[in-house]
RNA sequence: GGAGGGAUUCCCGAGUGGCCAAAGGGAGCAGACUGUAAAUCUGCCGGCCUUGCGCCUGCGGUGGUUCGAAUCCACCUCCCUCCA
């Protein structure tokens, strides 16, 4: 699609879709009417090297803007990342080392273009300008905002109320992020809904520097895979690496598919809305069909899992993942790509130990507990004896829990 | 600078000399039920092995008292509160 082919009003319509906040439409329309590509900034904190589905909500919006002909700055907050965004935090984060930040930034690069158009993405790091600020520059920046306004932030206010520490440098975080907008002459900054505060500071600070304030767009924050439906509403923490409730973009296909299949039904609809390419009408229809019993919820979920696995891997990979899933979990058959481990032992080898060595359990004690709990099968039969052993010279198929399999060959250590 | 309070296992949080690998809750894992859903119920929930009522590690750090310390003492580190 040629750049700027759509009239501003139509663009605005597209931009508005699926957003939470848009500050504000009038200003944005004005910017669009000037007919030059907007500078759109989205910052990514390099603390989490794995991009996950939660990031893709805003990334899809970025892609939309790109397709409308605008310039998207994928800003890696390598400088601010060393401070740590206090958003949603109840305590101070430890700063990252330079090496960690660099490594994480690299990982971002390779994953981001699964969604973004590389030709219309400008990759920047905010250390480019932030590291160069002098003491006087920082003072000037800090003068743009007041402590009272900073304390309007719920997370700061709460920490203050609960007598938890707040380090001064955390106050600086939103200001540095705002300075990014100054440095880039940003027209539009986007982010998750939880970023609203930081984005608004950007507007104010830009004014302070005599610049036209940026517009702001926020998208919904995606709940993690552990979210639950409570009284018809989805309740749960946002998807994040540190909470472990995420689906990473580079999760292997089977894992991605499996993780998506195990989210609760209510959450599936949320994922449909925020992640699927299906339009609102199609989702509505599907939802009605499930509610009416015409479509099994599992099949609706499988469709979603397939779509997303296909997007981040390939059609073949998605198909294979679906097949494997059905084979293991619906037909209760063994997958055909079970990893084989050769364990050396002249004497009968304890099953618990073998499980630990083959990586099926984190420790021998853990494996022993799993055995006693009835979670271990050898050659299709449940083994509940914690003293069970495997004979040298034989190969066993061991299953731990629902989805951990390994073929274990006990090899006598001759020669 | 002064006075006081606190630091417990992944998280929250009980525990004031032996019965403490440490209550309770959450998270996690396994089992039942299912659609590998969710909810619910049950069990587990530091590590090691020669699997014994075994050994090691463990209650901010370092020493000490004691037959025995998460619990008592000393010093140290960090956090909080009030005063200045």
Torsion of CA A167, A168, A171, A177, to 10 degrees: -100
Of residues A316 and A105, more confidently modeled: A316
Q: Does A29 score more than 90 pLDDT? A: yes
Mean of pLDDT values over A354-379: 89
Mean of pLDDT values over A388-401: 90
Listed in order, strand segments (DSSP E) in A184-319 are 188-192, 215-219, 228-230, 233-235
Given the candidates 3.40.50.880, 3.40.50.2300, 3.10.290.10, 3.10.25.10, the CATH classification of the domain at A340-411 is 3.10.290.10
Of residues A40 and A166, more confidently modeled: A40
Which pLDDT score is estimated for A95? 53
Please give the CATH topology (third level) of the domain spanning A228-330. Answer: Tyrosyl-Transfer RNA Synthetase (1.10.240)
Q: Does A161 score more than 80 pLDDT? A: no
Q: What is the ipTM of this complex?
A: 0.82
> A334, A324, A390, A333: which is closest to A357 by C-alpha?
A390
Which pLDDT score is estimated for A6? 86
Which pLDDT score is estimated for A73? 96
The CA–C1' separation of A183 and B56, in angstroms, is 58
Q: Is A382 left (phi over 0), alpha (psi -120 to 50) or beta?
A: beta
* 3-state DSSP assignment of residue A389: strand
Strand B-proximal protein residues, Cβ less than 7 Å: A 163-165, 226, 228-229, 257-259, 261-266, 297-298, 301, 325, 329-330, 350, 352-353, 356, 362-366, 368-370, 372-375, 386-387, 400-404
Q: Does A314 score more than 60 pLDDT? A: yes
Q: What is the mean pLDDT of chain A?
A: 87
- Give the architecture-level CATH label for domain A8-219: 3-Layer(aba) Sandwich (3.40)
Which pLDDT score is estimated for A91? 47
pLDDT tens for A70-112 read 999 999 888 887 665 555 444 445 556 667 777 777 778 788 8
* Residue A243 per-residue DSSP state: T
Mean of pLDDT values over A43-48: 76
The CA–C1' separation of A295 and B19, in angstroms, is 58
The CA–C1' separation of A168 and B82, in angstroms, is 22
Per-domain boundaries in chain A: 8-219, 228-330, 340-411
Distances (CA, A) of A344 to A25, A91, A383, A415: 69, 48, 22, 12
- In angstroms, rounded to a whole number, what is the distance separating the alpha carbons of residues A399 and A332? 12
- In angstroms, rounded to a whole number, what is the distance separating the alpha carbons of residues A234 and A265? 10
Which pLDDT score is estimated for A83? 64
Which pLDDT score is estimated for A191? 95
């Amino acid at each position: 699609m040629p750049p700027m082919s759509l009239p501003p009003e139509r663009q605005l319509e597209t931009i508005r879709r699926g957003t939470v906040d848009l500050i504000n439409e009038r200003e944005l329309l004005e910017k669009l009417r000037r007919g030059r590509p907007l500078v759109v900034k989205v910052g990514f904190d390099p603390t989490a090297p794995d991009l996950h589905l939660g990031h893709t909500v805003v990334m899809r919006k970025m892609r939309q803007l790109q397709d409308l002909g605008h310039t998207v700055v994928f800003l890696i907050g390598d400088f601010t990342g060393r401070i740590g965004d206090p958003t949603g935090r109840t305590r101070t984060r430890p700063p990252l080392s330079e090496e960690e930040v660099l490594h994480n930034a690299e990982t971002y690069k390779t994953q981001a273009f699964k969604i973004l158009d590389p030709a219309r993405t400008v990759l920047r790091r905010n250390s480019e300008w932030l590291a160069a600020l002098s003491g006087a520059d920082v003072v000037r920046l800090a003068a743009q905002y007041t402590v009272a306004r900073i304390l309007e932030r719920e997370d700061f206010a709460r920490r203050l109320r609960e007598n938890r520490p707040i380090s001064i440098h955390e106050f600086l975080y939103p200001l540095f992020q705002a300075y990014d907008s100054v440095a880039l002459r940003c027209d539009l900054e986007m982010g998750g809904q939880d970023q609203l505060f930081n984005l608004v500071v950007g507007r104010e600070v830009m004014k302070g520097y005599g610049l036209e304030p940026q517009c702001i767009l926020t998208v919904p924050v995606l709940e993690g895979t552990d979210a639950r439906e409570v009284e018809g509403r989805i309740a749960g923490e946002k998807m994040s690496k540190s909470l472990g409730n995420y689906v990473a973009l580079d999760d292997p296909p089977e894992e991605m598919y499996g993780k998506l299949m195990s989210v609760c039904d209510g959450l599936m609809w949320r994922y449909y809305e925020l992640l699927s390419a299906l339009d609102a009408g199609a989702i509505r229809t599907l939802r009605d069909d499930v509610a009416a019993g015409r479509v099994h919820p599992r099949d609706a979920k499988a469709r979603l899992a397939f779509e997303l696995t296909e997007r981040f891997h390939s059609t073949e990979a998605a198909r294979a993942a679906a097949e494997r899933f059905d084979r293991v979990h619906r037909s209760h058959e063994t997958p055909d790509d079970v990893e084989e481990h050769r364990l050396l032992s002249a004497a009968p080898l304890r099953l618990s130990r073998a499980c630990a060595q083959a990586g099926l359990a984190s420790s021998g004690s853990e494996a022993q507990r799993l055995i006693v709990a009835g979670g271990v099968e050898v050659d299709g039969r449940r083994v509940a004896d914690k003293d069970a052993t495997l004979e040298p010279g034989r190969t066993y198929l061991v299953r731990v829990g629902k989805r951990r399999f390994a073929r274990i060959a006990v090899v006598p250590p001759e020669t």
